[in-house]
Amino acid sequence: MGGHSPCASCKLLRRRCTQDCIFAPYFPSNDPQKFAMVHKVFGASNVSKMLQELPIQQRADAVSSLVYEANARVRDPVYGCVGAISYLQNMVSELQMQLAVAQTEILCVQMQHEPMMPNTEIEPMIPQYLNNYASSSNVIHDSSLKREDIWT
């Protein structure tokens, strides 16, 4: 790298960092943990192959994804990112249910304050509205996950 310190990859692997080092742009020497984690989960050879197969303009995003997945795999070796996604889907489902309940309560209050309003159109919708959010069967529920596990 022409007098500069070697990238984090070359430091960890104890290699000479060349000008055409595929890791240098994405794993700077001042952030060695970033490459160490990716190397631990995926291996340097696999990461190198993945980067070489991608157009240059997509490599930075790929490295970000690899770093995120590697960190998720270290925290949760079984589920990795899927555990985080499952937790977030569960949160969305719970928030949708809370929203439906709040909207139903608003309708009830409105109906109490406007007794002349014909409620034959609104009342049948209330249970259906709640059931739409209560039956989110496509969400994976995992009560062992905590918000701290996802955001740290």
Question: Domain limits of the chain?
Answer: 8-75, 81-151
> Could you tell me the pLDDT band of residue 112, with boundaries at 50, 70 and 90?
confident
Other C-beta atoms closer than 10 Å to the C-beta of 139 total 15
Question: Looking at per-residue confidence, does 13 or 141 come out higher?
Answer: 13
pTM of the model: 0.59
**Among 79, 77, 86, 65, CA closest to 147:** 86
Question: Looking at per-residue confidence, does 120 or 4 come out higher?
Answer: 4
Give 53-109 pLDDT, tens digit per residue.
999 999 999 999 999 999 999 999 999 889 889 999 999 999 999 999 999 999 999
Give me 58's structure tokens.
């997509």
Percent of the chain with pLDDT over 70: 72
Backbone phi and psi for residue 100, each to the nearest 5 degrees, phi listed first: -60, -40
pLDDT at residue 141, rounded to an integer: 47
What mean pLDDT, rounded, does the chain reach? 82
117-134 in b/e burial notation, b at 16+ Cβ within 10 A?
Answer: eeeeeeeeebeebeeebe
Output DSSP code: residue 7.
Answer: P
Contact of 28 with 4, CB cutoff 8 Å: no
Contact of 129 with 100, CB cutoff 8 Å: yes
Q: Given phi > 0 = left and psi -120 to 50 = alpha, else beta, which region is 54? A: beta
Name residues whose C-beta falls within 8 Å of residue 57's C-beta, 6 or more positions apart in sequence: none
